[in-house]
Each structure stands twice: as C-alpha cells, then as structure tokens.
Amino acid sequence: MTERDGVDTIVDQWARERPELETTAMALFGRVYRLARLVGDSQERCYGRFGITRADFDVLATLRRAGHPHGLSPGRLTSALMLTSGGMTSRLDRLERAGLVERRPDPADRRALLVVLTDAGRALVDEAVGAGLAVQQQLLADLPAADQRRLNHLLRRALASVERHAAG
C-alpha cells in the first residue's frame, strides 16, 4: 500500500465533519490537480533552461506537430490551445521577437497569415520536447511500466466521461 498523502487528510476531515458525503471523486480530482500542478512546475523549470515558458512550448510544439511546413493560422493555433486571440497574439509577438516563429502570408489565401516555425524554433522545440519527456519519465520512475499503462488507460476513460458530462 502506498503511504497516505495530503488528499487523504482532506478526505478524512470531510468524513469526520460530513460522513454522509461520497468523496471518491473529490479524492481523484484532488490528486489529478496536485499531479498537474507539480508536473507543470517541473516542466516550467525544464523549459526555462531553453529560455521559454510552458506556454511558449505549447505554441512551438503545436506548430511542430502540425507537420511540414510547421505552420498554422493564428485562429487554428488559438483554437488548438484554447486561448483568447489576445492571449495568442502576445505569445506570438514574444516568440517572433525571439526568432522562433514567423508570420507569413498564407500561400492558399493571400488575405490570411500562417504562423510558421523558424529553423531556430524547430531546433529549440525538438530539444525541449526531449528534455521535457525525460523530466516526465523521471517523475514516474517509481511507478512500474504496467502501472503507468493501466493509469493511462483509466485516465483516458475518466477524461472521456468528464468531457461527455462537461459538454452538457
């Protein structure tokens, strides 16, 4: 059995104060939130070594995953990253000043723009993604591979359920 954590303490306090409450979901989401925060902080430190933030990495990685020529419209980027257009503009301005992306006319529609990775942006994101994955793997080093696969499967199912119910 794994040692108790801070979420157990919270659940125990609710059980004492309100024993009629079913707190399984609270415990699950509490752990997911704590995991996300801790991993996010680790990723932020990792990407900081490359002179970028996690938010910057998200933009660069989205462009890199888009495939050649590693470009998307600002609208598609905004949608993919679930940002406001203002939030995206400030990120793109910062990344463009750093020489990591360029805004170019869309060859398919001269009225539109594409945001494209520069060679420097592609090199940086390729290095940063490897470093970020190494950090993630290190964080899970104490969890056997079979447990990681099972947890991934269960989280996929949980996410599908939450997405179904949150949409309505």
pLDDT at res. 145: 96
Instruction: Give residue 77's identity as a one-letter amino acid code.
Output: L
Q: Give the pLDDT confidence of 113-135 residue by residue, as tens digits.
A: 899 999 999 999 999 999 999 99
Neighbours of 43 (CB within 10 A): 19
Say whether pLDDT at 1 is over 60. no
**What is the domain partition of the chain in residue ranges?**
52-144
Say whether pLDDT at 30 is over 60. yes
- Quote the pTM value: 0.86
Is domain 52-144 in CATH 3.30.70.260, yes or no?
no
Mean of pLDDT values over 26-51: 97
Q: Give the pLDDT confidence of 76-126 residue by residue, as tens digits.
A: 898 888 888 888 888 999 999 999 999 998 888 888 889 999 999 999 999
How far is residue 71's CA from residue 56's CA, in Å, rounded to a whole number?
15
Q: CB neighbours of 120 closer than 8 A, spacing ≥ 6?
A: 99, 100
How far is residue 37's CA from residue 107's CA, in Å, rounded to a whole number?
40
